């Protein structure tokens, strides 16, 4: 069996690597969009505007209440009705809409977790509501958001495999094609799994580095 893993690796190493590039592009684009969407909806949910609240709750509720694959297909075909998009962009958009809901909840949670005294201290110094948000609350909320965001990003990386069903030739799609052709599905998916695993490990390390870099106070105290 180990020999056949080598055979599969030998056959597909470069092909999988190329497909990994596509997986990374999908992940990067969808998560960058998800952060923007997440921020907007976090603010809507925190705002005192009832229509904003309703909108945010509806969006988050729908996304949380439906399986990703259903949402993906629905959005893919829905989006294709309105505009002509490549499967890459349709897939990225759908993944972003999905992850955005979770990112919104992460930001809402961390913004709310900042002690109200921080805001009051900022206001007492003459800062406007907006300035206090920008200089005092958000920087602290972002730092607190890094661990759960990192977690969500790992989920997003793995979720990107579902876009294979839209015909994007990323890692999982490549593995499916390869397995069908080489009649060694077990080894092929094992190798694909290893690729994902290595990506996740690298990513976890990066998130930890980022967290350290962004918390100089904790570094100094340690």
Partner 1 sequence: MNVIETRNLHKHFGDLHVLKGVDIAVAEGEVVVIIGPSGSGKSTLLRCLNFLEMPDEGSEVLLDGEVIDPARDNLDKVREKMGMVFQHFHLFPHKNVIDNITIAPENVKGVPRKQAKATARELLEKVGLPDKEKAWPSQLSGGQKQRVAIARALAMDPEIMLFDEVTSALDPELVAEVLQVVQDLAAAGMTMVMVTHEMGFAREVADRVIMMDDGIIIEQATPDRFFGSPAEERTRTFLGQVLHA
Binding region for partner 1 (CB under 8 A): 115, 117-118, 120-128, 131, 135-136, 139-140, 143, 216-218, 220-221
CB of 2 to partner 1, least distance (A): 50
Tokens of 141: 């909320």
Q: Which uninterrupted H or E stretch holds 163?
A: none
CB of 115 to partner 1, least distance (A): 7
d(CA 20, CA 1): 24
CB of 125 to partner 1, least distance (A): 4
For partner 1, which is the closer residue by CB, 65 or 216? 216
CB of 141 to partner 1, least distance (A): 10
CB of 149 to partner 1, least distance (A): 17
For partner 1, which is the closer residue by CB, 25 or 143? 143
For partner 1, which is the closer residue by CB, 99 or 145? 145
Tokens of 34: 């998800």
Q: What is the dihedral of CA 180, 182, 185, 188, to 10 degrees?
A: -120
Contacts with 144 (C-beta within 8 Å, 6 or more apart), sequence order: 110, 113, 114
For partner 1, which is the closer residue by CB, 83 or 220? 220
For partner 1, which is the closer residue by CB, 123 or 158? 123
């Amino acid at each position: 069996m180990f020999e056949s893993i080598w055979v599969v690796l030998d056959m597909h190493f470069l092909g999988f690597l190329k497909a990994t590039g596509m997986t990374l592009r999908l992940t990067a684009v969808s998560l960058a969009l998800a952060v923007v969407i997440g921020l907007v909806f976090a603010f809507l949910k925190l705002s005192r505007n009832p229509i904003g609240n309703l909108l945010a709750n509806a969006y988050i509720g729908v996304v949380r209440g439906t399986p990703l694959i259903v949402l993906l297909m629905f959005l893919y075909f829905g989006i294709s009705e309105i505009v002509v998009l490549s499967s890459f962009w349709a897939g990225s958009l759908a993944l972003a809409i999905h992850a955005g809901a979770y990112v919104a909840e992460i930001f809402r949670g961390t913004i709310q977790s900042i002690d109200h005294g921080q805001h009051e201290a900022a206001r007492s110094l003459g800062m406007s509501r907006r300035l206090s948000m920008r200089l005092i609350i958000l920087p602290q909320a972002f730092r607190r958001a890094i661990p759960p965001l990192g977690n969500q990003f790992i989920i997003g990386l793995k979720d990107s495999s579902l876009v294979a069903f839209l015909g994007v030739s990323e890692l999982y799609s490549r593995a499916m094609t390869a397995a069908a052709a080489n009649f060694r599905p077990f080894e092929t998916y094992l190798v694909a799994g290893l690729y994902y695993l290595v990506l996740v490990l690298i990513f976890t390390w990066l998130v930890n580095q980022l967290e350290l870099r962004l918390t100089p106070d904790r570094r100094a105290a340690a």
